[in-house]
């Protein structure tokens, strides 16, 4: 399997853009609790990617949804995410507010903060799941699927690295640097989204494929 799925996943998940949110949600946590949050978030991100890869196509078949239709819808979702990123916002939809204003309350939340909202939807939301399902359908052999799952491991490790170095990254890049990185990843994601939508439209409307769109 080509490396394009890894680039897509890294562009969507974009852990660098989530660093400020990680710092915000983990304020007041002890060092051990903060480190636990790092690893739970990373593991959960991998689990979401792996579950989408292994069961996503089966779920589509259960509901009678064609992959071509899902490619168009998923590609549109990726394109919307990329537009958010081009405006220096992380790809996935963010919760508007949080009631976790007290450090003791955050500590009590423990691993739940790592899962919601850090992993879902900040890191891995609908756009991530859509991309994984689309690429999993293209995995025709065991090794191609294993490679896709391996990309999920890479995403989890990159997330763990970014979160572990959250404070140094925030100091070095600053808000401006993170915004620039987010916009660059958004531009890459927009191009990939158009390609996914083009493939789906070519399957739904063969005449477009014969015209060179597919």
Return d(Cα 167, Cα 212) in angstroms, integer.
48
Q: What is the pLDDT of residue 179?
A: 83
- Give the Cα separation of 98 and 15 in Å (integer): 20
pTM of the predicted model as reported, rounded to 2 decimal places? 0.76
In whole angstroms, what is the distance from residue 81 CA to residue 210 CA? 29
Average pLDDT score over residue span 53-60: 92
Task: Tell me what pLDDT residue 48 has.
Answer: 95
CA distances from 98 to 13, 39, 40, 205 (A): 21, 22, 20, 45
Q: What is the pLDDT of residue 141?
A: 93
CA–CA distance, 100 with 107 (Å, rounded to integer): 10
Q: What is the pLDDT of residue 210?
A: 60
* Averaged pLDDT for residues 42-48: 96
Which residue, 170, 195, 158, is CA-closest to 75? 195
Contact 76, 196 (CB under 8 A): no
Mean pLDDT of the chain, nearest integer: 83
**Residue 90: pLDDT band with limits 50, 70, 90:** low
Residue 183 is predicted with a pLDDT of: 86
Give the N- to C-terminal CA distance of the chain in Å, as an integer. 20
Dump pLDDT digits (tens) for 1-39.
689 899 999 998 989 888 888 987 787 788 888 999 999
Residue 148 confidence (pLDDT) above 90: yes
Q: Is the dihedral of CA 58, 60, 65, 67 positive or negative?
A: negative
Whether the pLDDT of residue 166 is over 60: the answer is: yes
Query: What per-residue string of b and e applies to 185-197 under the rule 16 or more CB within 10 Å gives b?
Result: bbeebbebbeebb
Write down the pLDDT at residue 180. 85
Domain limits of the chain? 4-210
List the one residue out of 154, 124, 158, 118 whose CA is nearest residue 37.
118
Residues 154-163: tens digit of each pLDDT: 999 999 999 9
Query: Rounded mean pLDDT of 188-198?
Result: 86
């Amino acid at each position: 399997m080509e490396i394009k799925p890894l680039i897509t996943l890294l562009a969507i998940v974009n852990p660098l853009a989530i660093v400020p949110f990680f710092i915000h949600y983990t304020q007041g946590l002890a060092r051990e609790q903060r480190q636990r949050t790092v690893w739970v978030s990373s593991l959960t991100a991998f689990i979401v990617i792996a579950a989408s890869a292994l069961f996503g196509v089966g779920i589509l078949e259960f509901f009678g949804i064609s992959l071509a239709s899902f490619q168009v819808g998923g590609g549109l979702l990726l394109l919307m995410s990329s537009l958010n990123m081009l405006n220096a916002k992380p790809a996935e939809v963010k919760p508007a507010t949080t009631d976790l204003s007290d450090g003791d309350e955050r500590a009590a939340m423990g691993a739940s903060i790592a899962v919601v909202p850090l992993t879902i939807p900040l890191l891995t939301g609908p756009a991530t799941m859509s991309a994984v399902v689309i690429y999993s359908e293209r995995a025709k052999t065991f090794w191609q699927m294993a490679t896709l799952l391996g990309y999920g491991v890479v995403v989890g490790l990159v997330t763990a690295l970014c979160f572990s170095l959250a404070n140094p990254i925030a100091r070095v890049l600053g808000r401006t640097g993170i915004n620039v990185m987010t916009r660059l990843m958004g531009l890459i994601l927009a191009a990939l989204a158009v390609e996914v939508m083009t493939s789906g439209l070519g399957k739904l409307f063969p005449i477009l494929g014969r015209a060179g769109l597919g």
